[in-house]
Amino acid sequence: MITFTTLPALAFPVIDPVLIEVGPFAIRWYALAYIAGLVGGWWYVRRLVQRPQLWPAAGAPYTPEDVDDFLTWATIGVIVGGRLGYVFFYEPARFLADPISIFYVWQGGMAFHGGLLGVIVAMIFFARTKKTSALSLFDIIGAAAPIGLFFGRLANFINAELWGRPTDLPWGMVFPTADDQPRHPSQLYQSFGEGVVLLVACAIAIRLGGLKRPGLVGGVFTTGYGIARFLVEYVRAFDPGIGLIGGIITMGQLLSLPMIVAGLVLIALARRAPASAIV
């Protein structure tokens, strides 16, 4: 059910975070966003490995069946890494005081940077089991990751969480979980920048032969996300209990800087390497 609040700014669409609830069983938009991201990414990656013209002469290092297998690994990496990243990066004191709440994933509290680290660990171990390229796996997963980011940020918007700083711009919104000040709908900015724009950027890199140089598309994703996240932090509300670190930078920006550097290094190394074989 959707209702609209009457506010001196754009009306915030108050959407019940629970789509369906039957007794103790509830289906939440937040969970559906993760499912949509994982399933959409799975479909996209399968399409990539089934197009031989995108790969070197030796062909794609992974099969559609490998992609099916990795979906489970990716799910575990996203959930475990995302949750632990949030715990250690953003609210360590709170979870230290109440450790059992670490497992209350349905209450929200996931960090993309932690989820990325979780998936990277999963990719490394999966590639080793298949005795093939971890960089090529990073390329195709990175190309599909913006799909999950798009849906995940929309879920943040529906939950009225991770809102922006106060603004007098005409599209400012008053979030029911914040205060009576119109604020940037920063979740929508992130959904567009980290989702739509980054998906197109990775697709262009693939079209230009990026999958023939292992690490290049993954580098585009890593750099692009780091830049998009760094910029949106200027209008996103400060993290509770953290604010500006050293009075100059947010935690999101601090965590994004290594991503930008690592992504640029990946791109540089991939461009120097011969495009004749998968390493």
Residue 159 has pLDDT above 90, yes or no: no
pLDDT tens readout for residues 235-277: 999 877 788 888 899 988 998 999 999 999 999 999 987 654 4
CA 39/CA 120 separation, integer angstroms = 18
What distance in Å separates the CA atoms of residue 172 and residue 98, rounded to the nearest whole number? 35
Instruction: Tell me what the pLDDT averaged over the chain comes to.
Output: 86
CA distances from residue 273 to 152, 218, 269, 279 in whole angstroms, order as listed: 35, 15, 6, 10
Cα-based angle 47, 29, 150 (whole degrees, multiple of 5)? 45
SS3 131: coil
Burial class (CB in 10 A: 0-12, 13-18, 19+), 10: middle
73 φ, ψ (degrees, to nearest 5): -60, -45
**Residue-level pLDDT at 5:** 45
Choose among 35, 24, 72, 68: nearest CA to 49. Answer: 68
pLDDT more than 70, % of the chain: 87
Mean pLDDT in residue range 117-123: 89
165 contact partners, CB below 8 Å, separation of at least 6: 183, 184, 186, 235, 236, 237, 238
Side chain identity at 112, as an amino acid letter? F
Residue 51: what pLDDT? 95
pLDDT value of position 277:
47
| Interatomic CA distance for residues 168 and 9, integer angstroms | 9
Query: What is the C-alpha to C-alpha distance for residues 279 and 272, in angstroms, rounded to an integer?
Result: 13
Q: Tell me: the pLDDT tens digits for 18-42?
A: 777 776 677 777 788 878 988 999 9
Asked whether the predicted pLDDT for residue 54 surpasses 70, the reply is: yes
pLDDT of residue 98: 67
For residue 178, pLDDT over 90 is answered with no
Q: Which residue has the higher pLDDT, 141 or 85?
A: 141
What's the rounded mean pLDDT across residues 200-229?
A: 96
In this prediction, residues 202-230 reach a mean pLDDT of: 96
Tokens found for residue 92: 């360590």
pLDDT of residue 101: 64
Residue 271: how many other CB atoms lie within 10 Å: 13
Encode 126-144: b = buried (16+ Cβ within 10 Å), e = exposed: bbeebebbbbbbbbbbbbb
Lowest mean pLDDT among 5-9, 37-41, 95-99, 244-248: 5-9
